[in-house]
Amino acid sequence: MKRLVSSILLTGFLWSAANPLNILQPPAATAQFSAPGELYYTFYGQQIPLTLRSDTIAVSFKTQGGTRGFSQPPYLRLQQALQGGGGNTRGGTPPAQPLNVEVTPLGDRYALVKLLSDTLNDPNSVTKRIQQEPFVESTLPVLTRTSESEQSGTTEQTVILPNEIVLSLEPGMTNLQRNILLDRHNLEIVRSLRFSNNRYIVKSKSVSGTAVLNVANQLNGLAGIQSATPNFVQSVTSGIKEQTNHNTALSQTPQAVDKLRSKLSSLPKHGETPYPTNMLPLQWHLDSTSRRGQLLPRTDVRATEAWKKSNRGDGVVVAVIDSLIQWDHPDLVNTVYTVGDVKDKLPGEVHGWDFSGEGEGDPDTRISADEVTALQPQFKKSFELSNADLLKEYEFLAFEFSGGNPDASEGEIATLIRNYLRNEIAAEFHGTWCAGVIAARPADETGLIGVAPNAKILPVRVFGLGGEITTASLIEAVGYAASRGADVINMSLGSLMPDRELTDQIFEVLDTHPNLVIIASAGNESVDGVGFPAAIPGVLSVGATNISGNRTVYSNYGGRLDLVAPGGDTELNMSGGILTTGGTWVDGFWQGIPVPDYAWGVTLDPKGKYVQVEGTSFSAPTVSGVMALMKGEDPDRRLSRDRLVSILKETASYDGLAMTKADENQYRLQASIGFGSGMGFPFIRPSGIFPQPRPVSSQEYFFGSGLVNADAAVKKVKGE
């Protein structure tokens, strides 16, 4: 922490009231400039290095060139133009040759064009072809942030760099001073950020491309400017490829419905539950005794005991800041929050808000008809194509999966590809998965139950398709959730790039709302140091454990880890995952596709109404649900955030947790060379935040304060 504070003090500049127009002075000598060819942005004075990718081109589409008036979304039109050789031909010009590229959507405004084989040698010609299309606005740089990790080698974050900067001004600056500042640096305001103070999206009138990084870097440190960060467009995935590549994905589950009934009949039934459901024995994260028996230690959060002593989260609102939240799922529709009368109510706002996409956003966080149109073709191919056609169509995936599974047959590789394609689409409903873990309320005896089934979910969407997310959308989403009275904010987004604008916004929100608890996933990179935003001081970071009580192989650990909770592990068996609500049951996905009799990929049933998943993305909402149980027993909100977090940590324990031999050896080596040393080579934590190194026990190193205990936490709140 000392390192972070020092960097703030070294790079901070005060806005001088005595010289209100000192923005006209030359930039301070300490302002940072890139060396030729060096790309980076700054995070509280740290330089975060970036690399320009040569194998991928980003495309932004014109607003009027969306799906409005067209039968296809723009990314599919671009794919047809490039791969089909159609292009923008006029005056009898013959069609251009088809290009060997892969086009994938990123939200509704962008697409990524990946160059394959021969096109890698001539990216300029591909760029020219793209720019000829009338619905294309521009092509943009694609950057990669690569950081060393201690076990997994390197982790990469890929981002698009638009000509947009999030600019935060110091309090007290007048409109005149702001306008003079913008004019001097040749900037113009795109819009101000809602639910935030003194923040704007601005763009340069004189530069574009990677030069936007230099503009942002030069703005940092100037008088009157609190901070400036490029409004990166990130593509954040959910670790689906790794999960798909597990051995269990080599086969599908035939006769899924009958096999599920058979499995449930073989498991011990649970006693009293707040809502009748036959599925509880499969939800081991709530109560593991049905799966582990009475003799083995509990590895769950003891939710079933907590239900008996609590109102199960009644009166508590948990904001889920995430991707598609299909709140009309039968097990979620009765738990969604309805926004009441607020002074700044948004047009059409009822059940949360969608901050992804163009402009002001959308009042519906569920999947739209246009988004179904964008996703359904790939989904359909995974069911319709023969093995031979699938291997040909997705040659690059076949090559990748064959390398990881050298003994697999062509049929098994085809199954892997099918599950990967389907899982990618299923993962678009990541927000639905998280919402179900927190507060699902079973519609009938075949439904699921969340940790806090009487709590309400406030859906807040920030991800477009393909995991597209921007700094600006996340800043607005956090401010929105707080303004709507959320008691808890769940952020299962542990692999974002460190961002000062979001950090400052979270600081402001926490200061303004002392009872609000923000909980975030630690990240899935298996490195020492939790990811961003979990590492932000004041945010509760959560790592993941499996049904055996081990740290999951993917979970981050060490620096800034607060607690652990079940996150699932599907390596040996899909039933080791966290069972929750899915989204591909929506009818639009199945138009023209016969519903199979088998479960596929992460699904428990043929349509994907329920899924079994893994990740710290699901240990975080488990803890958010526990926090909702605790807050439900504190209706007057007399307990501050700090006290509630203290109770959560005090009642957590290492009972039922066990270290693998691999983790024991990892700790032994790290302890010998010193904590925070990064295993002896220069190491930048994925979060960009450097906790103060201190000696810790092996249990604290991998499990923080321990496994969350909902029963003990609720008891302590009631006894306060």
List pLDDT tens digits, range 520-543.
999 998 988 899 999 999 999 999
How many percent of the chain have pLDDT more than 70? 87
Same domain, yes or no: 215 and 302: no
> Does residue 530 lie in a domain region?
yes
Query: Is the pLDDT assigned to residue 681 strictly greater than 70?
Result: no
Domain boundary among 201, 230, 259: 230
> Does residue 279 lie in a domain region?
no
Same domain, yes or no: 111 and 217: no
Alpha-carbon separation of residue 362 from 147, 319, 423, 470, 588 (angstroms): 35, 16, 26, 16, 20
Domain boundary among 183, 211, 230: 230
- Residue 117: phi and psi, rounded to 5, are 40, -110
Per-residue pLDDT averaged across 265-285, rounded?
Answer: 85
CATH of residue 666's domain is: 3.40.50.200
Sign of CA dihedral 217, 466, 374, 346: negative
Pairing of strands 136-140, 56-61: antiparallel
Give the confidence band of 146 by pLDDT, cuts at 50, 70, 90. low
Q: How far is 610 from 614, CA to CA, in rounded Å? A: 13
Number of domains comprising the chain: 3
Angle at 615 between CA 613 and CA 617, to 5 degrees: 100
Least confident of 74-88, 375-389, 391-405: 74-88
Same domain, yes or no: 89 and 182: no
Determine contact, residues 222/184, Cβ cutoff 8 Å. Answer: no
Expressed as residue numbers, the domain containing 65 is 56-137
In this prediction, residue 251 carries a pLDDT of 64
Question: Which is the catalytic residue, given 287, 322, 504, 569?
Answer: 322
Same domain, yes or no: 217 and 93: no
> Does residue 148 lie in a domain region?
no
Q: What is the DSSP-derived secondary structure letter of residue 565?
A: E
Q: How far is 106 from 173, CA to CA, in rounded Å? A: 36
Question: Which is the catalytic residue, given 196, 492, 617, 705?
Answer: 617
527 half-sphere exposure, CB direction, 13 A CA radius: 26
> Does residue 259 lie in a domain region?
no
Per-residue pLDDT averaged across 364-373, rounded?
Answer: 94
Q: Active-site residue 499, yes or no?
A: no
Same domain, yes or no: 176 and 78: no
Per-residue pLDDT averaged across 564-591, rounded?
Answer: 92
Structure tokens at 227: 């901070």
Per-residue pLDDT averaged across 556-573, rounded?
Answer: 91
> Does residue 386 lie in a domain region?
no
Determine contact, residues 459/336, Cβ cutoff 8 Å. Answer: yes
Same domain, yes or no: 86 and 221: no
Angle at 200 between CA 141 and CA 492, to 5 degrees: 70
Pairing of strands 540-545, 563-566: parallel
Query: Is the pLDDT assigned to residue 714 strictly greater than 50?
Result: yes
Single pTM value for the model:
0.91
Give the confidence band of 437 by pLDDT, cuts at 50, 70, 90. very high
Per-residue pLDDT averaged across 686-710, rounded?
Answer: 88
Question: Which is the catalytic residue, given 329, 351, 430, 513?
Answer: 430
Which range of 109-123, 261-275, 628-642, 669-683 scores highest in mean pLDDT? It is 628-642
Per-residue pLDDT averaged across 638-667, rounded?
Answer: 96
CATH of residue 177's domain is: 3.30.70
In this prediction, residue 260 carries a pLDDT of 83
Q: How many residues does the chain have?
A: 720
Give the confidence band of 395 by pLDDT, cuts at 50, 70, 90. confident
Determine contact, residues 552/178, Cβ cutoff 8 Å. Answer: no
Q: Active-site residue 322, yes or no?
A: yes
Same domain, yes or no: 556 and 610: yes
Same domain, yes or no: 108 and 208: no
In this prediction, residue 94 carries a pLDDT of 57
Query: Is the pLDDT assigned to residue 473 strictly greater than 80?
Result: yes
> Does residue 321 lie in a domain region?
yes
pLDDT higher at 558 or 441:
441
> Does residue 44 lie in a domain region?
no
Domain boundary among 183, 202, 230: 230
Same domain, yes or no: 703 and 659: yes
Query: Is the pLDDT assigned to residue 118 strictly greater than 90?
Result: no
- Provide the residue type at 707 as one letter: L
Same domain, yes or no: 219 and 77: no
Least confident of 239-243, 283-287, 294-298, 496-500: 239-243
In this prediction, residue 696 carries a pLDDT of 87
Same domain, yes or no: 204 and 303: no
In this prediction, residue 25 carries a pLDDT of 34
Alpha-carbon separation of residue 73 from 69, 88, 109, 130, 429 (angstroms): 10, 17, 10, 15, 19
Q: Active-site residue 617, yes or no?
A: yes
In this prediction, residue 427 carries a pLDDT of 94
Structure tokens at 603: 């699904």
Give the confidence band of 405 by pLDDT, cuts at 50, 70, 90. confident
In this prediction, residue 220 carries a pLDDT of 92
Q: Which residues pair with 619 in a beta bridge?
A: none
Query: Is the pLDDT assigned to residue 22 strictly greater than 70?
Result: no
Same domain, yes or no: 314 and 360: yes
Per-residue pLDDT averaged across 308-314, rounded?
Answer: 96
Mean pLDDT of the chain: 86
**What secondary structure, in 3-state letters, does 598-624 show?**
CECCCECCCCCCEEEECCHHHHHHHHH
> Does residue 322 lie in a domain region?
yes
Buried/exposed code over 97-120 (b: 16+ C-beta within 10 A; e: otherwise)? eebbbbbbbbbbbbbbbbbeeebe
Pairing of strands 317-322, 456-461: parallel
Q: What is the DSSP-derived secondary structure letter of residue 162?
A: -
Closest by CA to 535, choosing from 504, 562, 566, is 562
Per-residue pLDDT averaged across 494-508, rounded?
Answer: 93
Sign of CA dihedral 7, 10, 15, 21: negative
In this prediction, residue 1 carries a pLDDT of 32
Give the confidence band of 19 by pLDDT, cuts at 50, 70, 90. very low
In this prediction, residue 257 carries a pLDDT of 81
